[in-house]
Amino acid sequence: MKKLVLIALVLFISIGANAQSIGLRVGYNMSGLRIDDNFNNYLKHVDMQGKMTNGINIGLIFERPIKPKFDGHAELNFNQKGSAYDLYANANNGGTSGYGETNLNYLELVLMAKLKFGPGYFGIGPYFGYLMNAQEIKYRKNDNLVAAFEAGLVNPEIPPMTEDEALVATAAALGVSSLKNTESFDSDMNNFNRFDFGGHLTLGVQFPVGPVKLFAEARANMGFINWETWNTMPQTTPPSSDFPKFEYKRNMAFTFSVGVLFGKPKK
């Protein structure tokens, strides 16, 4: 891994020092986890369902032409990744009893071989990430409100409602403003791998506008290593024949970005 990082740094410096274009990018991320069957079975056991979460990406770009249709491309990005889940324990009628998410903030070095065709381009390459911090956000529905609803203290009239809709009606009838008990806290960084490594595929279009080039692109990122340092289920459900150790729990993200490239002034 250290050799790969060293090679990546050398390539990044080489492309940056000889770049003919520099630029900026900003965009939106949808991220989640690639998990194995063992971890998926655990989520089902505790009535949880994984889902995607949202984030942003912003970065600095360097490009160096190698051939007429081929560029060396490097980026230094701030990238928000993570995962989320719905908790269905004790939930009825399609409702949820809680929600949680893990937000991971990475500084990433991205390398890309960029093949151009007309206004479009295709890119492939690795990324190397350093986890700067992580945060957990969790909420459960207001316990008193749920108890009032389940006790039938407020019985919403037809049309039929999901539990979530009925809870809103119950809150209004009881004069309760908060539907959630929310908790937000910084995660213990000892539970995470500080370094992430993966690959990406990129498809985009770019076109000149005066002295600059504007671009828009979509990118799929796949992590190759687990983002947590432990590989067993929580201690409340110790590894067993039903819930053994999981093999992987890796980052997955889809990014949509726009940006601008400026030609580097000639000496």
Q: Count of domains in the chain?
A: 1
**Residue range 39-48: mean pLDDT, rounded:** 61
Give the pLDDT score at 28: 96
pLDDT tier for residue 6 given thresholds of 50, 70 and 90: confident
Bigger pLDDT: 37 vs 29: 29
- 169 inside domain: no
Is there a domain that residue 144 lies in?
A: no
57, 256 contact by CB (below 8 A)? no
Predicted TM-score of the model (pTM): 0.74
Choose the most confident range, by mean pLDDT, from 35-44, 57-66, 145-154, 231-240: 57-66
Domain that residue 206 falls in: 2-83+105-130+195-263
Give the mean pLDDT of 237-261: 73
Q: pLDDT tens digits, residue range 93-134?
A: 445 556 678 888 999 999 999 999 999 999 999 999 999 988
CATH number, residue 39 = 2.40.160.20
Which residue has 């039929």 as its token pair?
160
Please report whether residue 227 resides in a domain: yes
Q: Is residue 259 part of a domain?
A: yes
Residue 43 inside a domain? The answer is yes
How many alpha carbons lie under 13 Å from residue 84 in its C-beta half-sphere?
15
Q: Is residue 136 part of a domain?
A: no
